[in-house]
Amino acid sequence: MAKRDTLKQLADSVCREYLEFIPTSNSLKPSHIANALFRQCMGETCCTKDIHEWVVSERRKDAVSSADIIDRYQAILWNGAEENPENIKQIRFLMEEIFNQDNTVYPNYRLSVFSISSHWLIKPGVKSELNIGEFLFKILAKRIGGRRSPAIELIQSALSRDDDDLTKILKPIITYPSGEEKRTLMGVCYPEENEIKWDSCKQTIRNGFDRLAENMIRMGAKGNALLILERMICFSGFAVFLYLADCCSALYGGPRVPILLDAGTELESIKKASEQCYTAAKKAVEDYFVRVFEEQIRPEISRNSKASCERWIEEMMFSSEERETSIRPAIESYFESFCADGEKPVYALAHAIQIAAYTFEYRYNSPSDFCRVLGVRCGIVGPKGSRARIKRYLINSFALETIALSILSEDELNGIELKELGSKAVSTYNILLGTNADTEYKILEDANIAQNTPGDLRGDLTVNAQAFAESFTSLGLARSYADGVTLVGWRL
């Protein structure tokens, strides 16, 4: 039987019981979120070993050879056993480009997930999903005003279609020898209402999903299944990022962290302010862990005194002597330091536990580092690549359009002033575009960011907004008029 380990149990419970997902891995990619969320929405999986054999092209180590592919699948090949292996190689290379866009298909089938175009590609869960699908599905499944999110039905409808151009490529493989034999139908398992924890940030995320789904239906996108799935996964990544950044504020009070989006103007003040906003989001995650650790240990400490906290540290249990000799002195040292800084004892101890958890339990990828992983891969943080060590909110056009669609009401699809869109972005997600320079400067000032930013930040916010106006125009979603007004809309 495993020995009890106080720090490990505390660290695990924050993720599994409080957050309800596990932000401690750098392996998460959009395809993992898709596989997890779509499985929850559809209540089914499919055995895709045959597709895996085709998608892992011959240039990969341990891949099935094209000669073996011909031998196994000659019944569905145009030339049967006489098929040219070079043709099969080319087809497999093409299939890998299409169905492995996130590089999540490996020679090991058990670890692989595909770029999903229909329900036929949904697999059983893999470790890299980090429980994010279940977290998001609970938000969508909660009944608000008597109804679940329309996003669920929209996703189900999109996945049920298998006549799109991508799925057609796979259909002969899927249905050989029998497609139905490969499906496992569990049925959609909706959680009980009392099982769904709720807070203001989850409400914000739910509202965003609902508006995005409703707007896509109004715009006639229901017939474009691939676009629906791509938008839903793009917003899912943003939603998880937003929850990490905002959950401390939602649950324990305090101001929300601003998200200053850089339109790519290369203005130094915007870059620096956006970098600080991103750093503040990572710090907010640390603050959340401190507050949860404080909530966990407070019932075990009789008085909010230094002596009571020192006694608690002495009573900590460890799974090995090696862990005890490295972790306990570290917590004692951190605790002394935070007490000397004026923190109250129980809070200082929780702060010490957070540092220890980040050092010893999340050593390879902390929850704060997970913001980088998630932000970059869902298109709101950049620059990409490990060489760009300093990140900021550098959003791509698809994510920008998706987030905008999650904000606007039906009437506003016909056209809304960019300034008004900026105001709604602030009130909804605390996203700053620069459209209301004075208001947004005050938000950055209150967050102690404006004071530490070089140059004319207030003036450069206006330039940043103009760059976003040009971005929306280039996407065909905005018109600028002689009086300086820019209208953004999907029915202009």
Choose among 37, 76, 34, 30: nearest CA to 54. 76
Structure tokens belonging to residue 433: 């575009």
Residue 353 and residue 314 share a domain: yes
C-beta of residue 235 within 8 angstroms of C-beta of residue 403: yes
Once rounded to an integer, what is the mean pLDDT over residues 102-106? 96
Q: Among residues 344, 368, 392, which one ends one of the domains?
A: 368
What is the percent of the chain where pLDDT is above 70?
99
In total, how many domains does the chain have? Answer: 2
Whether 351 is covered by a domain: the verdict is yes
CA 316, 313, 24, 386 torsion-angle sign: negative
Same domain, 293 and 421: no
Q: Is residue 262 part of a domain?
A: yes
- Is the Cβ–Cβ distance between 84 and 147 less than 8 Å? no
* pLDDT value for 145: 96
Cβ-proximal residues to 220 (8 Å cutoff; 6+ apart), any chain: none
* Residue 327 and residue 353 share a domain: yes
Q: Please give the pLDDT value at position 176.
A: 86
Specify the range with the lowest mean pLDDT, choosing from 72-76, 131-135, 206-210.
Answer: 72-76
pLDDT of residue 179: 67
117, part of any domain: no
The yes-or-no verdict on residue 210 having pLDDT over 70 is yes
pLDDT, tens digit, 9 for 90 and up, residues 37-75: 999 999 999 999 999 999 998 888 889 999 999 999 999
Taken in order 205, 210, 213, 216, the sign of the CA dihedral is negative
**What mean pLDDT is reported for the chain?**
95
pLDDT at res. 387: 77
pLDDT band at 349 (very low <50, low <70, confident <90, very high): very high
pLDDT at residue 369 is higher than 80: yes
Handedness of CA 306, 310, 315, 321 (dihedral sign): positive
C-alpha span between 434 and 423 (Å, rounded): 10
Residue range(s) defining the domain that contains residue 349: 284-368
Q: Is residue 318 part of a domain?
A: yes
340 and 404, same domain (yes or no): no
User: How many other C-beta atoms lie within 10 A of the C-beta of residue 103?
Assistant: 9
Could you tell me if 414 and 459 lie in one domain? yes
Give, rounded to a whole angstrom, the gap between the first and last alpha carbons of the chain.
66
Q: Is the pLDDT confidence value at 178 over 90?
A: no
In this structure, are 301 and 401 located in the same domain?
no
In a domain, 316, yes or no: yes
Give the pLDDT confidence score for residue 165 in this predicted structure: 86
Provide the pLDDT for residue 2.
Answer: 56
With a cut of 70, say whether residue 1 has pLDDT above it: no
Q: Are residues 338 and 428 in the same domain?
A: no
- Residue 406: pLDDT above 60? yes
Residue 431 clears pLDDT 70, i.e. is over it: yes
Whole-number Cα distances in Å, 374 to 261, 371, 484 = 16, 5, 36
The residues, ordered by sequence, that sit 6+ positions from 197 with a Cβ below 8 Å of its Cβ are 20, 138
Residue 76 lies in a domain: no
Considering the domain architecture, whether residues 333 and 420 belong to the same structural domain is answered as no
Both 276 and 289 in a single domain?
no
Residues 290 and 277 in one domain: no
The predicted model gives 192-209 an average pLDDT of 98
Average pLDDT over residues 131-148: 98
Angle at 32 (CA atoms; ends 29, 36), nearest 5 degrees: 150
Out of 84-88, 174-178, 201-205, 477-481, the most confident range is 201-205
Residue 451 domain flag: yes
What band does 163 get if pLDDT is binned at 50, 70 and 90?
A: confident
- The answer to the question of residue 19 being in a domain is no
Strands 259-260 and 431-432: parallel
Task: Encode pLDDT of 220-277 as tens digits.
Answer: 887 899 999 999 999 999 999 999 999 999 999 989 999 999 999 999 999 999 999 9
Q: Taking a C-beta distance cutoff of 8 angstroms, is the pair 140, 206 a contact?
A: yes
Name beta bridge partners: 392: 382
464 & 318 share domain:
no
Q: Identify residue 351 by its one-letter amino acid code.
A: H
Boundary (domain end) residue, out of 368, 394, 419: 368
CB 353 within 8 A of CB 5: no
Rg (CA), the chain: 25
By CB neighbour count within 10 A (0-12 exposed, 13-18 middle, 19+ buried), where does 273 fall? Answer: buried
What letter does residue 2 receive in the DSSP assignment?
Answer: P
Q: Which residue type is seen at 107?
A: P
pLDDT value of position 221: 81
Asked which of 368, 390, 415 is the last residue of a domain, the reply is 368
Confidence of residue 147 (pLDDT cuts 50, 70, 90): very high
Q: How far is CA 267 from CA 264, 453, 467, in A?
A: 8, 11, 11
pLDDT value, residue 492:
62
389 and 468 housed in the same domain: yes
